[in-house]
Amino acid sequence: MDTRVWAAYMVESIPERPYSDLLYSISEVELIYQDIKTKSAFPAVIKTKCKMEQSYDNSIHMEGLVFGAGCCGLQTTFQMDNLDEARFLYDQLVNICPIMLALSAASPVHRGYLSDIDTRWPVLSQSFDDRTDEEKGQKPLKNDRFRIQKSRWSSVETYICPEHSQYNNTDIVYDKDSYEELKNEGLDEALSKHIAYLFIRDPLFLCSETLDQDEILDIQHLENINSTNWQTLRLKLPICNTSTGWRVEFRPMEIQLSDFENAAYAVFVFLVTRIVIAYRLNFVIPISKVDENMSAASKRDAVLEEKFYFRKNSFSGCHHDHSFRRLQYTFGPFTDKSITEIKITKPGQLKTKDGDDFCQMTIDEIINGNVEFPGLIPLIKTYLESKCEETDDETNYLTNSYLKLISDRASGAEPTTANFIRNFVTTHPYYQQDSIVSDIINYELLKACAKKSNGGIK
């Protein structure tokens, strides 16, 4: 389908869902950034089913789906050898998503106001939220089947490997009929619940040319549901009669201003997938803690000011082969924890003799390491050293340049794109310390962004 046609269907279908109030409301997407002269309440015209109303509060009101749909993201897709490997990678990337969302933050301004968040995610989540009052739990269930905890655009709801089921410590809503059908066809409980969760929502549109199809050979109907559940990760199915296999789509990152920055983030996530697969690393924590991380990731300057739950002992799943011996040689004290006695205490908590396997860390500690965790970049560099004979000097230099950018963003040595934009606005001579991004500030900000895109601002 043509992208423009698809977008038009989205804009029309989501607000017009039966019993949904999205067509008649303006999402209070985020709080205004409170500067010295910022007004305590901003006026906004609120459209209700019956009339236009005036509202005063400290939120930025955005009327229409386009405020979310118009946001840009950086998404990467990785093809695995088989379903088992794709499921393993999917689960390991679940908690990498909020880390990369904060690290790539690039959206502090919305509708001409400086906001108190740094990413697009809350905007997307609310603008694509077509849940009814019943589904939100605000009214008793009468016309709908489920109480749904999250918007269509949200973080991952469940791990999909059976061995990680104990970490699904939140209530998972799923379509019981779909679940039973999948189980009867031989799928395990974890994958059945993941797919059945997709079917708690109505389809947004149907294409007339694909209504009649051979469902043995064509998965268009399933893809219709799968592609309109916008989670931080997406498990993508093989395409019949092609070489396209099982894939994992990584979706949370913000778009950056330059090709170099975008390449750095894409390559970094790719290298994370390589060390996860090569060393069988374990980044799984309770899904409730992932949700907390997602909430923290969009906060102002989260990359420096917030802490995130992350697994301390990431080597518990390692195969004790030659690759593990390389890790032992480089990260001895960390890998020694992998042979610690592990016991399950209760659902959602996995403990060792040393206590919880996860704790709160800064993004700098997660990326560059601390006394509890060696850091993703040191692990990547160890992996790259084992591959140095397979790459030329130019490739190694470029890869190290990418890693340096990520490392510097994590440590604060290099500002995030959101920080760059926010600082440009607040230091502009025409800024009145009132959270308003005027036309002239906006124009000159765009010129500065264009210059940075071309390598003119470091």
Q: What is the pLDDT of residue 407?
A: 98
What's the CA dihedral at 138, 141, 142, 144 to 10 degrees?
A: 100
Task: Judge contact between 163 and 190, C-beta under 8 A.
Answer: no
How far is the C-alpha of 332 from the C-alpha of 325, rounded, in Å? Answer: 9
Q: What is the pLDDT of residue 316?
A: 73
Whose CA is closest to 268, among 408, 64, 437?
408
Q: Which helix (H) or strand (E) holds 262?
A: helix 259-279
Task: Judge contact between 233 and 99, C-beta under 8 A.
Answer: no
Residue 151 burial (10 A CB sphere; 0-12, 13-18, 19+): buried
Task: Judge contact between 286 and 348, C-beta under 8 A.
Answer: yes
Whose CA is closest to 364, among 289, 414, 290, 313?
414
Eight-state DSSP code of residue 78 = E
Tokens matching residue 276: 């996860």
Q: What is the pLDDT of residue 345?
A: 34
Q: What is the pLDDT of residue 127?
A: 84
Q: What is the pLDDT of residue 15?
A: 57
Q: Please state, as a whole number, how many other Cβ atoms lie within 10 Å of the Cβ of residue 295.
A: 15
Quickly count helices (H) and strands (E) in the chain. Answer: 19, 16
Q: What is the pLDDT of residue 65?
A: 73
Beta partners for residue 310, in sequence order: 359
Q: What is the pLDDT of residue 164?
A: 96
For residue range 385-441, list pLDDT tens digits in order: 887 777 888 999 999 999 999 999 999 999 999 999 999 999 999 999 988 999 999
Q: What is the pLDDT of residue 26?
A: 38
How far is the C-alpha of 414 from the C-alpha of 104, rounded, in Å? Answer: 12
Residue 11 exposure: Cα atoms within 13 Å on the Cβ side: 14
Q: What is the pLDDT of residue 42?
A: 58
Q: What is the pLDDT of residue 339?
A: 40
Q: Please state, as a whole number, how many other Cβ atoms lie within 10 Å of the Cβ of residue 402.
A: 19
Eight-state DSSP code of residue 254 = B
Residues 6+ apart with CB under 8 A from 435: 32, 33, 34, 35, 38, 113, 114
- What per-residue string of b and e applies to 359-387 under the rule 16 or more CB within 10 Å gives b? bebbbbbbbbbeebbbbbbbbbbbbbeee
Beta partners for residue 60, in sequence order: 30
Alpha-helix runs per DSSP H in 48-82: 66-69
**Phi, then psi, of 288 in degrees rounded to 5:** -65, -35
How far is the C-alpha of 194 from the C-alpha of 248, rounded, in Å? Answer: 14
Q: Where are the domains of the chain?
A: 417-453
The correct CATH number of 417-453 out of 3.40.640.10, 1.10.8.960, 2.40.50.140, 3.40.50.970 is 1.10.8.960
For residue range 348-387, list pLDDT tens digits in order: 334 444 445 899 999 999 999 998 899 999 999 999 988 7
Where the chain has pLDDT below 50, the residues are: 19, 22-27, 29, 45-54, 320, 338-355
- CA distances for 342 relative to 279, 346, 355, 371, 421, angstroms: 19, 13, 10, 21, 46
